[in-house]
Amino acid sequence: MKLDKDIFHPSHPHHKLKIQYTETPFSCDGCKEAGIGLKYKCDECEFDLHNVCAMAPTTITHPFYKKCEFQFHIKPPGTVMRICDACGKDVLGLVYHCKGCGYDLHPCCASLPHMLDDGERNLYLGMKLSSACHRCGGKGLGWSYRSECKSYNLHVSCVKDLLVENWQAMHLNVDKNKMREIQTKIPSLRGAMEVHPKEKVGKVHKYCQIAGGAVRVIVSAILGDPTPIIAGVVQGLMPK
């Protein structure tokens, strides 16, 4: 994908957005999801967009939904709360919607790579798991990454839950002025885990130990920048 240095976007039509690279987490003002890495930013308004959200085509198709045509919407269509069919989370902003089938996808979820390489193995995106997810233990329907040997199985929703519970609550739900004061890179989960019950902390710690490399590359993809550089930065999210 060719990246323009300066763009206008319909979600923020009054000012140009400039491409930037950041290792500091941000909240995308388009889809309302977490982000890191490449983004488009308005310096006048402190408005941020995932690279994926900024460059989203007006219409897409997806191999998981062969009969669907997804249209890009600045806000969720209709009056009922929409749910992303990839991660199961609320749709609060920019979204791809299929009018015919009613399916919805966050832009970053729609752009999840179908294969990720964590440096040791390939992880393949699918719509269900036949083996237990490392985090929740569940099987069945739900977008997931798994290794070919089926030893590494992770729901996209579970990896996103890990982010929300241990990082987003601490750093993205603050006002913009405070966010600008955060000078560190992605924080470690260690401090966040102190607020969770010991049993849950143990499960998260074990989960990250078992699938650390896989979690790292999936997190980077979910955050909108599935590149080796960002995957390395995301290592800071893992318990030590």
Residue by residue, pLDDT tens for the chain (240 residues) are 456 678 889 898 889 999 999 988 888 999 999 899 999 999 888 899 999 999 999 999 999 999 999 999 999 999 999 999 999 999 999 999 999 999 999 999 999 999 999 888 899 999 999 888 888 889 888 999 998 887 788 999 988 887 766 554 455 444 444 434 433 333 333 333 333 344 444 444 454 455 667 888 888 999 999 988 888 887 665 544
Domain covering 6-51: architecture? 2-Layer Sandwich (3.30)
Contacts of 89 (CB under 8 A, 6+ apart): 83, 106, 157, 160
Based on the number of CB atoms within 10 Å of its own CB, is 197 exposed (0-12), middle (13-18) or buried (19 or more)? exposed
Q: Are 90 and 98 spatial neighbours (Cβ–Cβ below 8 Å)?
A: no
Q: Are 30 and 11 spatial neighbours (Cβ–Cβ below 8 Å)?
A: yes
Contacts of 130 (CB under 8 A, 6+ apart): 139, 150
Q: Are 26 and 48 spatial neighbours (Cβ–Cβ below 8 Å)?
A: yes
Q: How far apart (Å, rounded) are the C-alpha atoms in residues 3 and 19? A: 8
pLDDT for 73 equals 97
pLDDT for 166 equals 59
Run of H or E residues at 158: helix 156-163
pLDDT for 176 equals 46
Asked if the domains 6-51 and 59-110 are classified in one and the same CATH topology, the answer is: yes
β-sheet bridge partners, residue 144? 126, 155
What is the CATH number assigned to the segment(s) 59-110?
A: 3.30.60
Return the domain boundaries, the chain.
6-51, 59-110, 115-237
Q: How far apart (Å, rounded) are the C-alpha atoms in residues 95 and 58? A: 10
Task: Identify which of 108, 125, 86 has the alpha carbon closest to the alpha carbon of residue 214.
Answer: 125
**Phi/psi of residue 100, nearest 5 degrees:** -70, -40
> What's the distance, CA 84 to chain centroid?
12
pLDDT for 193 equals 31
How many helices (DSSP H) and strands (DSSP E) are in the chain? 8, 14
Place of tokens 């752009």: 111
> What's the distance, CA 161 to chain centroid?
10
Run of H or E residues at 232: helix 228-234
> What's the distance, CA 226 to chain centroid?
10
